[in-house]
Amino acid sequence: AQSVTQLDSQVPVFEEAPVELRCNYSSSVSVYLFWYVQYPNQGLQLLLKYLSGSTLVKGINGFEAEFNKSQTSFHLRKPSVHISDTAEYFCAVSLNPGYQKVTFGTGTKLQVIP
């Protein structure tokens, strides 16, 4: 079975500073990786996904993530954060896009400080 570990439960960062949210996964087979964002009292929105190909994936709102197979990581980065990026971010893994069970991490709360 696959699992996802998000190492940081909360990450405070000053506005316009860079940020990295860490995600590690465990699986015995190839996986598909996702980052979702959840704003207060809302559902989840897909930021970006890695299925195959280039290991650097660009998503919406200026976010990007890099798939590292040897380190089983999929860290999310943004070079300059805005107040509006304050939200909870979830890393997720799926084994098979046809059977779409998605396993989520416990989330990282990004707090952007003015």
Partner 1 sequence: ETGVTQSPTHLIKTRGQQVTLRCSSQSGHNTVSWYQQALGQGPQFIFQYYREEENGRGNFPPRFSGLQFPNYSSELNVNALELDDSALYLCASSLAGMNEQFFGPGTRLTVL
Q: Does 45 bind partner 1 (CB under 8 A)?
A: yes
Q: Which residues in 71-90 contact partner 1 (CB under 8 A)?
A: 90
Minimum CB separation of residue 46 from partner 1 in Å reads 6
- Cα torsion 58, 53, 73, 8 to 10°: value is 20
Q: Which two structure tokens, joined as six digits, stand for 67?
A: 């798939």
Beta bridge partners of 87: 110
Count the neighbouring beta carbons within 10 Å of the beta carbon of residue 36: 21
Q: Does 106 bind partner 1 (CB under 8 A)?
A: yes
Question: Which range touches partner 1 (CB under 8 A), out of 56-64, 68-76, 78-86, 102-110?
Answer: 102-110
Question: Which amino acid is located at 94 in the chain?
Answer: S
Question: Which amino acid is located at 95 in the chain?
Answer: L
CA 61 to chain CA centroid, Å, is: 13
- Of the candidate residues 28, 42, 54, 70, the single one contacting partner 1 (CB under 8 A): 42
- Of the candidate residues 25, 32, 35, 74, the single one contacting partner 1 (CB under 8 A): 32
**Contacting positions for partner 1 (CB under 8 A):** 4, 32, 36, 41-46, 49, 51, 90, 92, 94, 97-107
